[in-house]
Amino acid sequence: LAVAVLASGNGSNLQALIDAQQEGSLSYEIKVVITDKHGARAVSRARESNIVAYEYAPKDYPSKADYEQQVLNCLNKHNIELVVLAGYMRIVGATLLNAFDGRMINLHPSLLPSFQGIHAPQQAIDAGVKVSGCTIHFVDEGLDTGPIIAQQPVTVTFADNADTLQAKIQKLEHKLIVDVVELIAQGRVKRHGRIIEII
């Protein structure tokens, strides 16, 4: 399965996908990394592993649709079949969504539908929940609202703050993202409307 990763920041989940791909014989291959943030660590991680990486700054384009068309052209050029949003800090618009409907997934650091949007770990701390976690879902036009593919829970203790919770969640994300991309690559993720079946 030809995979693209879109990332705006550190790219530790990208790294987890790269490491797993290099370690074992998996059914996916990361073909391209795209960032909207110049100098994002995700780009150097990609290049260190000889994966092509592109930096497209939205401000260099007249509109969001033009920016997304550039991203889409790049995805098509590389024959991408699945797009992974891994710390991509931008709401996906119609141009990309329509082209990759059902073929775009996102990682979110909470057990959705709780704590959508940014600062999910801080929201969990403020709410005093005792369990949080991470979610991987298909992307739809909403913010963190698409059909849920997989979730992993983590215990929240009194000692936790947003940073320690984020760190705990990221550990789980690094394994879950590899597992889910591999499941999709093996054709084992089936959609029944909003409900996902893993076969």
For ligand GRF, the closer of residues 87 and 146 by Cβ is 87
The catalytically annotated residue of 38, 108, 137, 192 is 108
Question: Is 92 one of the annotated binding-site residues?
Answer: yes
Residue 108 a catalytic site member = yes
List strand residue ranges (DSSP E) for 25-175, in order: 29-35, 52-55, 82-85, 104-108, 131-138, 148-155
Binding status of residue 133 toward ligand GRF by CB under 6 A: no
| Rounded Cα distance, 137 and 103, in Å | 11
DSSP E strand boundaries for the chain? 2-6, 29-35, 52-55, 82-85, 104-108, 131-138, 148-155, 189-192, 195-198
Regarding 12 and contact with ligand GRF (CB under 6 A), the answer is yes
Please identify, among the stretches 11-19, 21-29, 53-61, 146-154, the one whose residues bind ligand GRF according to the rule CB under 6 A.
Answer: 11-19
Write out the two tokens for 125.
Answer: 């701390």
Separation between Cα atoms, residue 118 and residue 108, nearest integer Å? 9
Q: Is 91 annotated as a binding residue?
A: yes
Q: Is 64 helix (H, G, I), strand (E, B) or coil?
A: helix
- Rule CB under 6 A: is residue 149 a binding residue for ligand GRF? no
In the list 3, 4, 6, 7, the residue contacting ligand GRF (rule: CB under 6 A) is 7
Measured from the CB atom, the residue of 166 and 187 that comes closer to ligand GRF is 166
- Using CB under 6 A, list all residues that contact ligand GRF: 7, 9-13, 86-87, 107-109, 170, 173
